[in-house]
A = this chain, B = another copy of it.
Amino acid sequence: MRVAATLPVTDRARIEGPDDAFDRLDAIGVIRHLAPHESLLLEGDCADRFHRVLSGTIAGYKATADGRRQIVAFFFPGDLVGLTVGDHYGYGAEAIGRASVCSILHTSMRELSRQTPALREDLLVALDREVAAAQERLMWLGRKTARERLACFLLECADRNGLPGKDGRKTVPLPMSQLDIGDYLGLASETVSRALAQLARDGAIEILRPFAGVVIRDRRRLETTMDEGAHPNGAGM
């Protein structure tokens, strides 16, 4: 898990980071390359496989009939997309930019996990993490202001994909558009833009131009912004 985001990836790219049994998945899967915005799977589709991200970023989303969209997760290299034991996917998924994945059929997976019991355990861990992540974000969406959500998001991204810099600074690549960030945080894209601008004005971050990420300039300040109080929607105090 956890890699520098978008690296040129050869056909059999190795994901860096702590070795988990998932590395073995690459051997039984099929590589697929995705163009920007190309769909990987649709909500409600019959779930006969899942995908391991090799490069790029994948967005998992739910949509309503009238066009509203909620991104339920961003998947980075090493992450598993479309993991479920049900028979239908709970969310759709599409590539943010160019991306590549390794697709594993449930049937192949079952076979492999007979030989490698550790895989079952790791699957449990992966699902567990997904639960924790989703529940953490329920807190964001239900009880935090736009600024707080942004701060939480940036710190999460920093911890997952941040590139270390001098004296605690981190460059955080954000491959997704501000519209996508809004759909992830339950905000309008304009609100994302304004909140980012304000964090930059406050000296917490620096925005990379043209927009491609941020540099964390004052992590402490960002962390206090995560919980500064004020009130999610509506009114005064």
Contacts and interface: CB of A to CB of B under 8 A. Distances in A.
Contact of A227 (B65, B127, B131, B232): B65
Contacts of A69: 143
A106 to B, nearest CB: 12
Interface in A42-89: 62, 64-66, 68-70, 72-73, 84-86
Interface stretch (A32-40, A134-142, A168-176, A199-207): A134-142
Contacts of A72: 135, 138-139
Interface residues of A, number: 42
Interface string A112-153: 000000001101110110111011111101111000000000
A186 interface: yes
A93 interface: no
Complex copy number for this chain = 2
A121 B120 CA distance: 9
Given A64-B227, A131-B134, A227-B64, A139 B233 contact: no
Most buried by B among A62, A86, A144, A186: A186
Interface string A16-34: 0000000000000000000
Given A84-B128, A186-B232, A70 B123 contact: no
Interface of A: 62, 64-66, 68-70, 72-73, 84-86, 90-91, 120-121, 123-125, 127-128, 130-132, 134-139, 141-144, 183, 185-186, 227, 229, 232-234
